[in-house]
Amino acid sequence: MVPMSAPGDAVKTPVKVHIVTIFPEFFNGPFDCGPTRIAREKGLLEINLVNPRDFTTDAHRTVDDYPFGGGAGMVMKPEPIFLAVESVRTPASRVILLSPQGERFNQDTAHRFKQLPHLILICGRYKGVDERVRTMLIDEEVSIGDYVLAGGEAAAVVIVEAIARLLPGAVGDEDSVATDSFAQGLLDAPVYTRPREFRGATVPEVLFSGNHAAVATWRRQQALLATARRRPDLLQKATLTPLDREFLQKTLGKEASNGSQNEK
- Shortest distance (Å) from residue 191 CB to ligand 9D3: 29
Which listed range, 49-57, 138-146, 185-193, 236-244, lies at the site for ligand 9D3 (CB under 6 A)?
138-146
Among 36, 109, 143, 257, which residue sits at the site for ligand 9D3 (rule: CB under 6 A)?
143
Nearer to ligand 9D3, 124 or 185 (CB): 124
DSSP string, 45-103: EEEEEE-GGGG--STT---EEPPTT--SS-EE-HHHHHHHHHTT--TTEEEEEEEEEEE
Q: Is 145 in the site for ligand 9D3 (CB under 6 A)?
A: yes
Query: What phi and psi values does residue 132 have, to the nearest 5 degrees?
Result: -65, -25
Considering only residues 72 to 101 of the shown chain, the ones binding ligand 9D3 according to CB under 6 A are: 98-100
Q: How far is the CB of 80 from ligand 9D3 (least distance, A)?
A: 16
Question: Is the Cβ–Cβ distance between 262 and 228 less than 8 Å?
Answer: yes
For ligand 9D3, the closer of residues 124 and 259 by Cβ is 124
Considering only 123-131, 166-174, 238-246, 254-262, which stretch makes contact with ligand 9D3 by CB under 6 A?
A: 123-131
Any contact of residue 257 with ligand 9D3 (CB under 6 A)? Answer: no
131 scored as a contact of ligand 9D3 (CB under 6 A): no
Tell me: does residue 144 bind ligand 9D3 (CB under 6 A). Answer: yes
185 near ligand 9D3 (CB under 6 A)? no
Considering the complex, state which of residue 123 and residue 240 has its C-beta at the smaller distance from ligand 9D3. 123
Contact 140, 17 (CB under 8 A): no
Pick the binder of ligand 9D3 from 1, 6, 11, 148 (CB under 6 A): 148
**Quick one: 17 or 149, whose CB is closer to ligand 9D3?**
149
Closer residue to ligand 9D3, CB minimum distance, 146 or 175: 146
Sequence-ordered list of residues with C-beta below 8 angstroms from that of 111, at least 6 positions apart, any chain = 166
Nearest CB to ligand 9D3, comparing residues 52 and 152: 152
Task: Please tell me the distance from the alpha carbon of residue 232 to that of residue 236, in angstroms, as a whole number.
Answer: 7
Question: Of 39 and 76, which has the nearer Cβ to ligand 9D3?
Answer: 76
Q: Verify binding: residue 155, ligand 9D3, rule CB under 6 A.
A: yes
Q: Cα–Cα distance between 80 and 63 in angstroms, integer?
A: 7
Q: Which of 35, 52, 128, 185 binds ligand 9D3 (CB under 6 A)?
A: 128
Residues near ligand 9D3 (CB under 6 A) are 98-100, 124, 127-128, 143-145, 147-152, 155
